[in-house]
Structure formats: structure tokens, C-alpha cells
Amino acid sequence: MMTLLRTVILIFLALQTLFAKTLSLQEAIDATLISHPDAKLALYQLDSARESIGIAQAATYPELSLNAEYYPTKTLVSQNSGSFVTRDHFSTHVDVTLTYTLWDFGRTQKRIDAAQQDAESALALNENAKALLGERVWQAYYSLAYLQRVSTANALSLAFYQALYDQSRQMKHVGLKTEADSERFYASLLDAKDLLETSRNEERKFTHLLSMLTGFSEQDISIEDDFTALSHTTLPSFPDAQWRHMLKEHNAELEALGAKIKQSHALYESSKAEHYGTILSAGSLGSDTSISSYSSNQIGIKASIPLVTGGRISHQIEKDRVSILMAEEALRARELTLWQELYEAILDTKRLDATIQAKQMAALALAKTVAITKGRYKEGLATYIEVLEAQRAYDNALIAQSAAMLQKIASLAHIKRLIPKGASL
């Protein structure tokens, strides 16, 4: 009877997912990167940084402007017979002016370099945002796979206790078992029902989380269970120095901080160039109308050198110098933090290989123990307590094996996020 119940439960679980959308991990990641606000925000920040390059580059082009002035009343001064005469009259002025920066001692180019490095930083942060979302999807996806396995194990456990309870009731009627046996199995049956509802509730939570990440309806989500295959993934046997080098080389967050250092250097050099001023060429075609009309055209070169600025330039230079030091220390601090995370994830992944194997062997041994104990119970050679303990130990071993697999997958996901191009996982 218990075998029949197990078969019915497995068929029911299979039918639950028959009409749902089978969602692969990569499809879930792709959907998240398209629809999630964090991905869009990182992309908009990248677009903004790229526009800043154009703003900086605009200073290298000539600037053409149209200017107009109108005064209803303007006091005009003229000379008449050796004396000055004033008259109030309306006045207008219109001109088209062209200005072009001939030389600013590299200040504009350094600002362009700074804007480009800011865009490089934004590009790296965009990749880092994708990696963070990818890790979140990994964890939600395989947490759901784990909970589905737990629910399946709990459903089979419920069927087991139901069969034992029914069997004990029948044996009680013929005098082979006592009321205590039936009541104890009934208590275990109620516990199994509660565990099943709890695991299904957690399963619904992660289905909702995956729905929020991907934008798919909860009813349309059914995952592919490659849980076991992925948990058997092995890490390359690299020395610690090589892992750390891969982190520095391929981590997007560190790449962004490195670009920030270059940006700070460029701004520092731009600030230093302000001491030397700017040389402009300017020309305009104008027309003035007051008492009479005349043209006011001009062309020439203009030099502007700051002599006294109240210390503004010096303070700006010092601020930019300190910004370089801050950016360098921010990179060092973050590299240390990420290296610790990577190191721990590598150790956990390697340790969990042995744990998974041990849990698997324990589950196989306990499955045999359950079968033997159940047979002995039927023959009156074992107590119901022994049967319950054997089944509980088997259930715990199955769940512990899946939990160890989930921990390894979470570690692999973290390693992949930290070094997305450094190692094939």
C-alpha cells in the first residue's frame, strides 16, 4: 500500500508542473536582466556617464551664439563744438559671435579623459549589477529546487506514516498491536503533515521571489531540476595566488574602482592646468542702432590668466589629490573584502564535496535500515519507536544531503559573481 501511495504522490507532483512554463536558469537570468529595475538603473547610469563624455568634448568645438539687446531709453554721449552733449534715445544691438578655445594647457583634454574613465566605471558597474542579479537568480532558482525536493521527501514521509498508521490500526483490531502504537504513528502522521505544509509554504515564497525577479507569473514558473548535476561541479585546482589574481583581473566592481582612480588622476591634472589660464579666438558680426546705425564687427584673440582667486584653484588641486588617495584606498579595501569572500567560498565548495558524499552514503544506509526495521516490526521483533527513529533519520539524511547541495551551489554562484570570466563553472 505504501508503494502505491508513493507512486500516486509522485504522479501528482509531476502533473502539477505539466502545464507550467519550464524555466531554465539562463532563461530566468535573461528575463531578470531585461525587466528588473536594478538592471535598468545600472544601464541608465551608464547612458548618463556616456553623455558626460559628449559634454566634455563640446569644449573642443567652436561655439556660435546670437546675442540681441534692446534699450527703450539709453543715454548717449556725443561731442559738439568742443563740448559733450548727452541725449536719451532707444538703442539696439544684434551680433553673431564665434568663439574657439585655442589653448587651455590640456585642461579640456583631461576633463574628457575623466569623463571617459567615469563611463568605464559605469560600464563595469553595469556588469557588476548584472552579476549581482545573476547570483540572486541562482540562489532563488536552486533554493526553489531544494524546497521542491524537501516537499517531495516530506510527501513521501507522510505517505509512509499514513501507511504505518493504517497498518497499526488493522493490526490492533486483530490484537497484534496496542493503542499506543496507533496513537504514536498518528502523532508522527500529524507532524509529517505539518512539515509538508511548512515546506510548501517556503516553496511558495521562493516561487514568488523568482516571479518578482523574472517578471513571470507564479503560475507559469516550473524550474528544471539539474540540482544534482550542478552540485557535482568541481572547482579547478588553482593556488591561492592565482585565484586572487583572477579576482583582480576579472571582478567588475574592482574594475570600476580602478577606473575611478584614473578619473581622479585626470581631474587632478585638469585642476593643475587652471593656473595657466586660457587663450581664445573670438569674432563677431554686429549691428547697432541708436541715433544712427552702424556695424560693430570684431575679430581677435583673448587671453585670460587667473591671478587672484581667493585660493579656489589651490584648494581644488588639493581636493583632487586627496580624491586620488581615497580612490586608491577604496580599491584596496574592497579587494581585501572580496578576496576574503572568494577564499571562504572556495573553501566551502571543496568541503561540501565531502559532505555531500557522506550524506549520500548515509541516506543509502538508512534506507536499508528503514526497510529492515519495518520488516522486523511486522514480525514483532522491533518496536514502533525503532521504526519511527529509522524513518526520521532517513528523512533527515535526505534533506541534509539536499541542503549540502544547495550550500555548494550558493558558493559556486558567489564564485561566479566574483570572477565571472575567470573560471568556467
Question: How confident is the prediction for the chain on average, in pLDDT?
Answer: 87
What per-residue string of b and e applies to 323-332 under the rule 16 or more CB within 10 Å gives b? bbeebbeebe
Up-side HSE of residue 363: CA atoms within 13 Å toward CB? 16
What is the structure's pLDDT at 413? 92
What is the structure's pLDDT at 384? 67
Residue 374 pLDDT class (50, 70, 90 cuts): confident
Owner of C-alpha cell 566574483? 418
* 77 contacts 86 by C-beta, under 8 angstroms: yes
What is the structure's pLDDT at 20? 52
Name the percent of the chain lying above pLDDT 90.
56
**Whole-prediction pTM value?**
0.81
Question: Tens of pLDDT along 151-174?
Answer: 988 898 888 888 878 877 777 666
Q: Which range has the worst mean pLDDT, 189-203, 226-240, 275-289, 335-349? A: 226-240
Q: Which range has the worst mean pLDDT, 25-34, 91-100, 204-213, 224-233? A: 224-233
Question: Tens of pLDDT along 317-369?
Answer: 999 999 999 999 999 999 999 999 999 999 999 899 889 889 889 889 988 98
What is the structure's pLDDT at 396? 86
Higher pLDDT, 227 or 143: 143
Q: Is the pLDDT of residue 6 over 70?
A: no
Cβ neighbours, 10 Å, residue 213: 21
At the fourth CATH level, which superfamily is domain 2-63+106-276+311-418? Outer membrane efflux proteins (OEP) (1.20.1600.10)
In angstroms, the CA 357 to CA 405 distance is: 10
Q: Which range has the worst mean pLDDT, 59-68, 107-116, 214-223? A: 214-223
